[in-house]
Structure 1
């Protein structure tokens, strides 16, 4: 593609989302540079340029942005609202000053302005800041990650108890998305700098309820699976043990906001998006069939 950048900086590269973006960008052919914290392992090896530093260090960001055509921005999971704004402003300013031609911001979740939730409001404010002070930009707002269903806190319950537990009401329809498809959307956005200024809600090809997902999983994992809508209080308590009190409260608040919306708030109409960013996203069933659920559940026989 003539418009595809020759070089791309990927932030958050060592995380699940960032590493998927790195893989997708490498497959597309440009030179890929990643920002990795000092002392952290290099999971990429030959073929990826490494700049040591982080989003809190404007000097290292200026170096990372030097000579690259585009930036694929993903912020750290669990970043506080203050960190979202500080990190995002730092990279936007470094990219603008470095002559970056396009910034693609993966918001790592649904964003609505004036939601009253600290994390979403910070991301909405950051989007406005990037549009005003950063280079030309495209914003991608994914729904929920399919990998949440296969996480260590989810897969064992599916396999051992036949329960798919998630903090969404039973009737909520969600266009779940895989990390690989999210990365494919990033690559397609990088191919289309003429779309600068646009924002896209991205998700999978189907809007499924929890019970519908449970039926699909029942046919894949070899046992009947039922859906359990986890109460928000229980969800927040479980998160606190993993993320700490502040991050848990912020995440739970975002889910509480989702609960207050229409049941289709996370159901994405991909019609126009697909015309502009031609990605064919993976269905939940196809994604689930490709996994080794016994291994994900920690079953000894899978070892």
Structure 2
């Protein structure tokens, strides 16, 4: 029986491929490009999120499916969530692990009709074994050129959260390890929070960067608007405005920390990387 990985060449799917391949499991890599070379995958399949037929064919007979929804317009994401659910109902894989990719279950409540809520509630109502992985903010966000370049070149880590704002940061690598473990633990269902506990603040992040870079790095809180403007050349005005809106909303709250009782630490005995260990693991 195979394990099917959505977005197998992307930032979230590729680490899951690596984590599962290390255990010798047969993998099917779902990508947009059927000609892609995915190390560790037995087969590469081009499957469209909007095609229930393609997804059903990919899921049928699978021991596990790792799902995360692609970025895009929310209406499209809702449609993808419904298609994934339809394929799961038809194909009935043995286990599904869904990563919310930082949406839902955090400091901000996800609307009931959102893509993440649609997929989560659909899994809850279905008959297939599942788990929902809920990270908060990804440490990989700190690798965006406007953030990383300022830390490296000017000794300033700039981010759109106030200095005392605690976040249970996690890495894509942490999510991959949790997902791989959950395929071996069908007894664990529902939500599993992934992130540092206790949560860390901006100055904590800056100190870790400073230790790794061998120079003093200070933390500087910037406005969500300024952050959006800095990433607009990378992602476009629309997506950048959406990111700015997210941080504007987060900034109105006390923090974005996980609930320890539903954490990977408590349920699986897996502790996420500290910021310093993550920086070392990615070779910064």
TM-score where L is the length of structure 1: 0.84
Matched, 1:254 2:246: yes
Aligned 8 A contact 1:117 1:253 in 2? no
Residue 225 (structure 2) aligns with: 233
Once residues 72 and 112 of structure 2 are traced to their aligned partners in structure 1, the CA distance between those partners, rounded to angstroms, is 8
Deviates more, 1:179-188 or 1:23-32: 23-32
Per-residue CA distance 1:208-262 (angstroms, 9 max, x = gap): 1101221222222122111111201112223333223332233222222211222
Matched, 1:57 2:57: no
Aligned 8 A contact 1:92 1:130 in 2? yes
Aligned 8 A contact 1:93 1:133 in 2? no
Per-residue CA distance 1:109-148 (angstroms, 9 max, x = gap): 0414995777994312331123224733210111122222
Once residues 207 and 154 of structure 2 are traced to their aligned partners in structure 1, the CA distance between those partners, rounded to angstroms, is 15
Once residues 111 and 33 of structure 1 are traced to their aligned partners in structure 2, the CA distance between those partners, rounded to angstroms, is 27
Equivalent position SS for 1:193: coil
Offset at residue 203 of structure 1 (A):
0.8
Matched, 1:81 2:71: no
Once residues 259 and 120 of structure 1 are traced to their aligned partners in structure 2, the CA distance between those partners, rounded to angstroms, is 24
**Structure 2: 5+ residue stretches without partners:** none
Matched, 1:68 2:62: yes
Residue 38 (structure 2) aligns with: 44
Aligned 8 A contact 1:173 1:266 in 2? yes
Aligned 8 A contact 1:24 1:187 in 2? yes
Runs (4+) of structure 1 moved beyond 6 Å?
Answer: 116-120
Residue 207 (structure 1) aligns with: 199
Q: Which residue, 148, 160, 184 being the options, matches 1:167?
A: 160
Q: For 1:97-246, what aligned pairs fall within 5 Å after superposition?
A: 97-112=90-105, 115=108, 121-133=114-126, 135-196=128-189, 198-246=190-238
Residue 24 (structure 1) aligns with: 19
Cα RMSD between the aligned structures? 2.5
Aligned 8 A contact 1:182 1:202 in 2? yes
Q: CA separation of 1:99/1:124 partners in 2, compared to 1, >3 Å: closer, same or farther?
A: closer
Equivalent position SS for 2:145: coil
Once residues 221 and 113 of structure 2 are traced to their aligned partners in structure 1, the CA distance between those partners, rounded to angstroms, is 23
Q: Which residue, 5, 10, 15 being the options, matches 2:5?
A: 10
Once residues 41 and 4 of structure 2 are traced to their aligned partners in structure 1, the CA distance between those partners, rounded to angstroms, is 13
Once residues 170 and 219 of structure 1 are traced to their aligned partners in structure 2, the CA distance between those partners, rounded to angstroms, is 18
Once residues 57 and 7 of structure 1 are traced to their aligned partners in structure 2, the CA distance between those partners, rounded to angstroms, is 20
Aligned 8 A contact 2:171 2:273 in 1? yes
Paired residue total: 284
Aligned 8 A contact 1:114 1:121 in 2? no
Offset at residue 161 of structure 1 (A):
0.6
Aligned 8 A contact 2:264 2:271 in 1? no
Residue 274 (structure 1) aligns with: 265
Q: CA separation of 1:63/1:108 partners in 2, compared to 1, >3 Å: closer, same or farther?
A: same
Equivalent position SS for 1:68: coil
TM-score where L is the length of structure 2: 0.90
Per-residue CA distance 1:70-99 (angstroms, 9 max, x = gap): 2110122x2221122111221121122112
Once residues 167 and 195 of structure 2 are traced to their aligned partners in structure 1, the CA distance between those partners, rounded to angstroms, is 8
Equivalent position SS for 1:29: coil
Aligned 8 A contact 2:142 2:148 in 1? yes
